Amino acid sequence: MPDILIFLVVIFSLAFDYINGFHDTANVIATSVSTRALTPRVAVWLAASLNFLGAMYSTGVAKTIGGDIVKSAQMINEYVIIAAMIGAIFWNLLTWWLAIPSSSSHALVGGVVGSVLMSTGMDALKMDGIVRIVLALILSAIIAIISGVIIMTIIYWLVGRVAPAKLNNKFRRLQILTAAMMSFAHGSNDAQKAMGIITLTLVSAGYLQSFEVPVWVKIAAATAMGMGTAAGGWRIIRTMGGKIFKLEPVSGFAADLNSSLVIFCATLFHLPVSTTHVVSGSIMGVGTAKRINAVRWGVAQQMLMAWVLTIPSTAIVSALVYKIMQLVIR
């Protein structure tokens, strides 16, 4: 029975990574597709390839996810993790269906917190670690907005006298580079979250003595992320690509450059961040640099509501799933 449960944890974790891939494809390629720098098909496959490579880059974020939410791997079991993953997957699919960009990272944190609270209670939660993760998720969006304004302002200052048509042609080509950077950065951070969950389960079950991510877990998570990205997430791409702010090649370049730098810096510091939050913040920032009313703040407000609701919603769903599993097992 324990082996079957661990197998289910792996399956659900990889399913989460796959869904994360197509859910977050919009974040990675929306700017380059909306400005016609890349065709949708080329953009998706570029993102899928570099997502895979980024996922193989390091395991620092995986260790944060696996070690900073619960106090000890021995305080949880496979049922807790399965319930957490179901809650996170449910929220990702719901927001994808409604075409609302939301954070897979928030969904995962909320799922784990909800199932742990229902199973063991507050004693098992590592509150300082959770606060650190949530702060990273929130501050990364704020930093993305501020740095987006700065980068866009610098670009306007450098190329402000260049004819718009000539400027757009140059930056449309440069967007291929920033789309690649964005894809690699996304893989380096997001794919590690499933790695952390699988490794946490293996430590909890006694299959690993220390929290070191096995090679097969890295390859499996990277592959699931890449395959999910290749599947595409067209519903959310429309929201990210044009509903927040009408992007041009120069602003799309600035948004991708800014997002990739913020996300990759977070990876270097082993901090999990939300690609959705960072990219949305970057788009708002570059839009604000043009003029503040160029940003459709009504759409941004709807997205903010989804972000606020994510952790409590997934926590409730995962807690209910765990309770139902308990009743069925009995």
Would you tell me how many other CB atoms lie within 10 Å of the CB of residue 146? Answer: 13
The whole domain housing 280 covers: 2-329
Would you tell me how many other CB atoms lie within 10 Å of the CB of residue 32? Answer: 31
Average confidence (pLDDT) over 231-235: 62
Number of folded domains in the chain? 1
Residue 242 CA: distances (Å) to CA of 148, 149, 248, 280, 283: 17, 18, 10, 11, 10
> For the segment 274-323, what is each residue's pLDDT rounded down to a tens digit?
887 888 888 888 888 877 776 776 666 766 777 778 889 999 999 999 99
Whole-prediction pTM value? Answer: 0.85
Q: Which pLDDT value is given to residue 245? A: 61
pLDDT for residue 149 is more than 90: yes
> For the segment 8-37, what is each residue's pLDDT rounded down to a tens digit?
999 999 999 898 887 776 667 777 777 778
